[in-house]
Amino acid sequence: MNVYETATKRRSIRRFKDKPVPDEVLEKCLDAGRLAPSGRNQQVCEYIVINDVEVLPGVFENIGGSVKMPPEKGGPRPEQSPKAYIIVLINKAWEGDANRRRISHYDVGMAAENIILVAYEQGLGACPILMFHENNLKPILNIPDTHDIALVIAMGYPDESPMAEVATDSTDGWVDDKLVRHVPKRKLEDIIHRNRF
Ligand SMILES: Cc1cc2nc3c(=O)[nH]c(=O)nc-3n(C[C@H](O)[C@H](O)[C@H](O)COP(=O)(O)O)c2cc1C
């Protein structure tokens, strides 16, 4: 699979096979995150990697959005819930002044996309999740006050095949009666301004 195929065929996955994700597969994703572009090369991101069946449920309870839709609306049945998470943290000690803080979340996005694409290359599905209860997750995961949670990435072997389609009037995703998720994407000609706006 080349980079273009990986970047264009990847879709967010929210229903997963009941199959554990090996440590070495997750480690390869993390290594791709580690080497992502970083503003001023400040490298504020740190990670908690989770694949322990004792820890997974507490994280699932504290995330939201479409990944928590009821099964009849395309969300996961209990056995289809995520089988691993990579929690992206910002180590505040590495951020420094306000100007540096401004760029931290760009680092998070760059690292997260590297992680997600390398996950996809290895046969995994993933979903970035910004809807999470930080105040609940921090004690569950022993995260100190020196660190903020920037993003949760849910992962596992995919048990669904969402389809990208051309967006017409709305970009809202929807689920059909076979529980296939449709993801409208804006056309290239609608978003590109060539040479001048
Ligand atoms: C910054 C960001 C935050 C997101 N937060 C959530 C979330 O909280 N819950 C969820 O189910 N999906 C979340 N998503 C996944 C988006 O819904 C998904 O990327 C979008 O619908 C496009 O689908 P695609 O990833 O398959 O192209 C998030 C994506 C991004 C980039």
CA distance 134 to 126: 20
In terms of pTM, does the model score above 0.95? yes
Mean pLDDT of the chain: 96
Residues 6+ apart with CB under 8 A from 83: 16, 17, 18, 19, 20, 21, 51, 56, 155, 156, 157
125 lines ligand 1 (CB under 6 A): no
- Any idea what the CATH number is for the domain that residue 189 is in? 2.20.180
Q: How far is the CA of 47 from the centre of ligand 1 (A)?
A: 19
Are residues 147 and 167 both part of a single domain?
Answer: no
**Do 99 and 15 reside in the same domain of the chain?**
yes
Is 186 found in the same domain as 130?
no
Residue type, 94: W
- What pLDDT is recorded for position 102? 84
One domain, residues 59 and 84: yes
Decide if pLDDT at 71 tops 90: yes
User: Is residue 173 located within the same domain as residue 146?
Assistant: no
- Decide whether any atom of ligand 1 lies within 6 Å of the 173 Cβ: yes
Which atom of ligand 1 lies closest to the CA of 132? 8
Same domain? For 129 and 83 the reply is yes
Assess whether 124 and 145 both reside in one domain.
Answer: yes
What tens digit of pLDDT does each residue of 1-40 get? Answer: 899 999 999 999 999 999 999 999 999 999 999 999 999 9
Question: Token pair for residue 9?
Answer: 């065929």
> Same structural domain for residues 88 and 174?
no
Domains contained in the chain, number: 2
The domain that holds 84 is classified in CATH as 3.40.109.10
Q: Which domain holds residue 123?
A: 3-161
pLDDT digits (tens, 9 = 90+) for 109-155: 999 999 999 999 999 999 999 999 999 999 999 999 999 999 999 99
Model confidence over 72-102: pLDDT tens digits? Answer: 999 999 999 999 999 999 998 887 777 777 8
